Amino acid sequence: MSTLKEKIEKHLLEVQKPSRYIGGEVGSVIKDKSKVDVRFAFCFPDTYDIGMSHLGMKILYSLTNERENYWCERCFAPGLDFEEIMRKNDIPLYALESLDPIKDFDFIGFTLQYELSYTGVLNMLDLAGIPVFSKDRTEELTQIVVAGGPCVCNPEPLADFFDIFILGEGEEVNLELMDLYWEMKQQGAKRMDFLRRAAQIPGVYVPQFYHFFYKEDGTIDRMEVTDGAPEKITKRIIKDFDKVYYPDNFVVPFTEIVHDRVSVEVLRGCIRGCRFCQAGFIYRPFREKSTDTIVSETKSLCENTGYDEVSLASLSTSDHSEIDPMLTRLIKYTEGERVNLSLPSLRVDNFSESLLNKIKKVRKSGLTFAAEGGTQRLRDVINKNVSEEEIMSTCRIAFEGGYSAVKLYFMMGLPTETDEDIVGIAELAQRIIDLFYSIEDRPRGKGVQISISCATFVPKPFTPFQFEPQDTREMIEHKQKLLMDSVTSRKVKVSYHDPNVSMLEVILAKGDRRLCKSIYTAWKKGCKFDSWSEHFRFDLWLEAFAECGIDPAFYANRRFDYDEILPWDHLDYLVSKEFFIRENKTAHKAVTTPNCRERCSGCGVNKAVGRDCF
């Protein structure tokens, strides 16, 4: 009988990118199984190319593997070609380090980065030979299926499939959970014994201990808690971010991945308070690393991995309090070592000639800015706190500095949006073009190019807009056509999202656990890789909703009442619901709220962490 490794090797030349499936990369951790007490399969519910770009996996992989008796291994969703081979040849889903089936592991852990990966979770469990529903798993203490990541701020649509959800930052709580597991495993404990104890760890949510009851109108009537679990689960945070664990080495793939470079996290959280931005609220409080720490981590990772590009990871790098001296020191190092330095999209309101001169040393392509709204009124509604004067000033600095290409991000379908706001996007682009040609020392020999990217607004939990409905598909299609008709210059290029994708995203983002059956049904019908346009099947999703008695508009196109019990109200991400209600009311008055450095807005985080945020 051939071994699993031989089965895998036999078929590698039949698939695209076989290096996705073999492991053995530089930097991967191999351990003696006889000396390992707890095994953790870190699963990313998308392909290797995407999952290997995820910074959180790199951090938790290295952190766990520093414990001699714990072994964290990686696992990714196979491409459709390899999945077909796996199913035909009885190859179970396996971890890359050992090539062992993940069904033999103690923990099967998923990171939930985006809602459209949910069917991928079910598909991976099925490929592994692990029961998809938690109620069908063995009573023995094994195969504990856990999840973390931003989507865990509302995990209810996946509640039937997971044993445990981990809220917030995992650097400390993951090891606490594994320590408890090892302790109870030695005692011969059963699964339920472990889950009851695990539910007492701050930040750990065991969904089967929470039971929801509904009113006739479909909204939540009440929640009941059993087995001594806490009434509210509070997310975990790392208080001293400058001293938080960060690896000095990454696994270096054999094949090119989406973000094929070193990533150095420079800060967590955001001071801005944009009312649509979930990440800006669920990652509060704002914390940053010192310049010394950032430079040290950059040097270690570049030297140990051999990468010749480094990216500064954050929600808003230019909000770092030491952005100028930090970039000065990093550029001195990267130029000397011939390493490219990559920055994320930039803030319009703190863009300066000094910053541009630094950027020109590290990035030669066009600049990207998030304007989000086409008129000042709408930018005030969403609390973007960016004026048109600042947008034009930023573009002038860029054009005078030698740039001729600018990309602008907008959202479509924002609360209170009118046709005037859509036409305003095209008018703003035209004014930027006119600005370019009014500058005497503009770049010669080439014309200006303005790229407009329009995403459909998705109201998300734990934001001031969590109560808002999403525009219907017909409304979005009308606005998309209006924008295209309003753009008259060939120097402006427009791209936008499929509104069906955005509708599914909001249903899964704001849904309750009655959606579990729909997700399961959609997966059984063949839905997977839903974030990939070539695989997205909205027709099958609509069939699944209909068969399960779900009205998509109830979650997507209905305004949630302020006093309504929301599916995520029992989860505490430190920002109060009262703050979100207050900010929602302020938004409808088109009034802005200052950023956190200017004035505390009373979101509740400072009280929760017992200190001032600044």
Model pLDDT for residues 170-208, shown as the tens digit of each residue: 999 999 999 999 999 999 999 999 999 999 999 999 999
Last residue of a domain, one of 166, 195, 229: 229
Percent of the chain with pLDDT over 90: 86
Strands (E) in 112-177, as ranges, are 144-148, 164-166
Q: Which residues pair with 412 in a beta bridge?
A: 456
Residue 297: give the domain boundaries.
241-497+575-587
> Strand 204-205 to strand 164-166: parallel, antiparallel, or no bridges (unpaired)?
antiparallel
Q: What are the residues whose beta carbons fall under 8 Å from the beta carbon of 193, sequence distance 6 or more? A: 141, 184
pLDDT of residue 609: 80
Residue 326, pLDDT > 60, answer yes
Residues 260 and 216 in one domain: no
> Binning pLDDT at 50, 70 and 90, where does residue 272 land?
very high
In a domain, 25, yes or no: yes
Residue 266, pLDDT > 80, answer yes
Over residues 371-415, the pLDDT tens digits come to 999 999 999 999 999 999 999 998 998 888 888 899 999 999 999
Over residues 529-546, the pLDDT tens digits come to 999 999 999 999 999 999
Q: Which residues pair with 225 in a beta bridge?
A: 210
What radius of gyration, in Å, describes the C-alpha atoms of the chain? 25
In a domain, 269, yes or no: yes
Do 351 and 397 contact (CB within 8 A), yes or no? yes
Residues 483 and 370 in one domain: yes
Residues 215 and 245 in one domain: no
> Binning pLDDT at 50, 70 and 90, where does residue 225 land?
very high
Centre a 10 Å sphere on the Cβ of residue 109 and count the other Cβ atoms it contains. Answer: 29
Looking at 28-37, 144-153, 337-346, 409-418, which range is the least confident one?
A: 337-346
Q: Please name the amino acid found at residue 58.
A: K
> Binning pLDDT at 50, 70 and 90, where does residue 357 land?
confident
Residue 157, pLDDT > 80, answer yes
What is this structure's pTM? 0.95
Residue 23, pLDDT > 90, answer yes
In a domain, 219, yes or no: yes
Query: What is the average pLDDT across 346-369?
Result: 68
Q: Which residues pair with 346 in a beta bridge?
A: 369
> Binning pLDDT at 50, 70 and 90, where does residue 369 land?
confident
pLDDT of residue 364: 52
Residue 613, pLDDT > 90, answer no
In a domain, 310, yes or no: yes
Residues 249 and 221 in one domain: no
Residues 248 and 368 in one domain: yes
Distances in Å between the Cα of 407 and the Cα atoms of 59, 349, 396, 448, 493 are 31, 16, 14, 11, 9
In a domain, 182, yes or no: yes
Residues 315 and 355 in one domain: yes
> Binning pLDDT at 50, 70 and 90, where does residue 363 land?
low
Pure H helices in 254-400:
278-282, 291-305, 323-337, 353-362, 376-381, 388-400
Last residue of a domain, one of 197, 229, 261: 229
Q: Return d(Cα 331, Cα 491) in angstroms, integer.
A: 33
pLDDT of residue 345: 59
Residues 298 and 426 in one domain: yes
In a domain, 54, yes or no: yes
SS3 439: coil
Q: Return d(Cα 89, Cα 281) in angstroms, integer.
A: 46
> Binning pLDDT at 50, 70 and 90, where does residue 614 land?
low
pLDDT of residue 362: 61
Do 430 and 403 contact (CB within 8 A), yes or no? no
Mean pLDDT computed over every residue of the chain: 94
pLDDT of residue 365: 55
Q: Is 188 left (phi over 0), alpha (psi -120 to 50) or beta?
A: left
Residues 154 and 13 in one domain: yes
CATH number where 363 lies: 3.80.30.20
Tokens of 238: 């790392």
What is the number of domains present in the chain?
2
Residues 130 and 8 in one domain: yes
- Half-sphere exposure for 457 (CA within 13 Å, toward CB): 29
In a domain, 557, yes or no: no
Strand ranges across the sheet with 107-111: 70-76, 38-44, 107-111, 144-148, 164-166, 204-205
pLDDT of residue 177: 98
In a domain, 553, yes or no: no
> Binning pLDDT at 50, 70 and 90, where does residue 610 land?
confident
pLDDT of residue 346: 65
Percent of the chain with pLDDT over 70: 97
Residues 488 and 351 in one domain: yes
Last residue of a domain, one of 229, 249, 264: 229
> Binning pLDDT at 50, 70 and 90, where does residue 33 land?
very high
Residue 494, pLDDT > 60, answer yes
Residues 58 and 83 in one domain: yes
Tokens 């199913």 belong to residue: 87
Residues 331 and 373 in one domain: yes
CATH number where 17 lies: 3.40.50.280
Do 347 and 398 contact (CB within 8 A), yes or no? no
pLDDT of residue 361: 65
